[in-house]
Amino acid sequence: MTLAVPQLAKAASVRRLSPRLDHILAPDAACETIATGIQWAEGPLWVPSQSALFFSDPPANLIRRWRRDEGAIPYLHPSGAAGTDPKLVREPGANGLALGADGRLRIADSGTRAITALDLATKAKTVLVDRYRGKRFNSPNDLHIARSGAIYFTDPPYGLADGDQSPLKELDQNGVYRWTPGGEAVLLDGTLTRPNGIALSPDERTLYVSVSDKDAAGVYAYALDAAGDVGGRRLLFDARPMLANDAPGITDGMKVAADGTLFCSAPGGLLVMTPEAEPLGLISDGRAIANCCFGEDGRTLFMTASDRVLRLPLRINGLKA
C-alpha cells in the first residue's frame, strides 16, 4: 500500500488516515516540544531506572539526557570516537540506542564504527563487535536487542564523509547483521543500498528494516526462523510516493508497539501503520522525524525531529500489550 503526502505540515499535527487511529491517539492529543538546539536528534531511548529519556546527536558527538525536572542536559561527550578527521568522518558520535538486560546501554556507535556497551553509572564503554570477517563496519546506525540477547543492527555508510566512496570503507556491502554475545557478526542481508531503522515484531518472528535511499525508500519485512536467521524478504511498505512535494524526511528509524503497531519515520513525518501496512495516521511538524520510542508509563511517544525532541501522549501502552 502506498500513501502520497500532498503538502508539508507547517505545525505539529496529526493527519488521520483511518478511524482506527483513534484507538492509538486521542483526536485532541497535543504534541509538546521538550528539547531544542540539537544538530541532529536521533536514537531516543527511555531508561526506567533513570526516569529519563536519552537521545543522541551523532554530528555533535553527544548523548543528552532529558528529565521532567531538569530538561535536556549533556550526558556524554564524546559519545562515539574522539579526534576524528571531519574530512573523513561525517558523524563521529553515537546513533541508535537500546537498553540491555544488564542495565547498560547498547549503542550503534557510528564514530567508533562498532556496537558498544555503556555503563550508565561509570560511563565506561566496551566494544562488543566492530568487524565482519575481519573488516571494520561502515558506521552502525540503529539496533534492536532480541529477548535472547542477540543484537540486530544496520550498517550504512552515513557516518563516513564520502559514503560508499570513502577511503575508510572496508566492506563492500551496507549490511543488516545479527550479533550474539560470544559469537561473531552474521550478515543477514547485504543487498540493501541504505539499511537504516530496524525493529522486531512482538513475537520476534518478523524483522523490520527501513531503507533510506530515496530511490528505494520503504520498509522491508523478513521472516525469522527459530534461530533468528532470515527467510524470505518482502517489501512491506513503499514510501516513494510520499516523497512528493519535497516532504521532509525519509524512511529512517522505527519502533513497534507491544500490540504490533508500527511507528515508522517516513517522508512528511512519522507514519503509524498496522503490521499489514495499513496507514493509520501521519504525525508531522514540518521537519524530518528521524526516530521515536515509547517511554514514561509506556503511553508516551517521544520523537527526535531534526533539531528538537517531541513528546506526544498515546492511548495505547507501547511497552505492554
List pLDDT tens digits, range 80-120.
999 999 999 999 999 999 999 999 999 999 999 999 999 99
Q: What confidence tier does 3 reach under pLDDT thresholds 50, 70, 90?
A: low
pLDDT at 11 over 60: no
pLDDT of residue 4: 45
Mean pLDDT of all residues in 297-311: 97
pLDDT at 287 over 80: yes
> Are the beta carbons of 158 and 87 closer than 8 angstroms?
no
Amino acid at 212: S
Joined together, the cell numbers standing for residue 120 give: 550508565
Where is 198: in which H helix or E strand? strand 195-200
The per-residue pLDDT of the chain, averaged, comes to 94
3-class state of residue 4 by DSSP: coil
pLDDT of residue 321: 78
More confident residue, 232 or 61: 61
> Are the beta carbons of 278 and 1 closer than 8 angstroms?
yes
- Cα–Cα–Cα angle for 257, 261, 263, rounded to 5 degrees: 80
Joined together, the cell numbers standing for residue 314 give: 498515546
Joined together, the cell numbers standing for residue 229 give: 536467521
Least confident of 1-10, 122-131, 184-193: 1-10
pLDDT at 296 over 90: yes
pLDDT at 300 over 80: yes
Q: What is the DSSP letter of 241?
A: G
Q: Please, which residues have CB within 8 angstroms of residue 128's CB and are 6 or more apart in sequence?
A: 106, 114, 115, 116, 117, 151, 179, 181
> Are the beta carbons of 242 and 269 closer than 8 angstroms?
no
> Are the beta carbons of 179 and 115 closer than 8 angstroms?
yes
Q: What confidence tier does 303 reach under pLDDT thresholds 50, 70, 90?
A: very high
Q: What confidence tier does 2 reach under pLDDT thresholds 50, 70, 90?
A: very low
pLDDT at 282 over 70: yes
Where is 219: in which H helix or E strand? strand 218-224
pLDDT of residue 245: 76
Counting residues of the chain whose pLDDT is more than 70, the rounded percentage is 97
Could you tell me the pTM of the whole model? 0.95
Write the pLDDT tens digit of every residue in 115-138.
999 999 999 999 999 999 999 999
Q: Please, which residues have CB within 8 angstroms of residue 82's CB and are 6 or more apart in sequence?
A: 61, 92
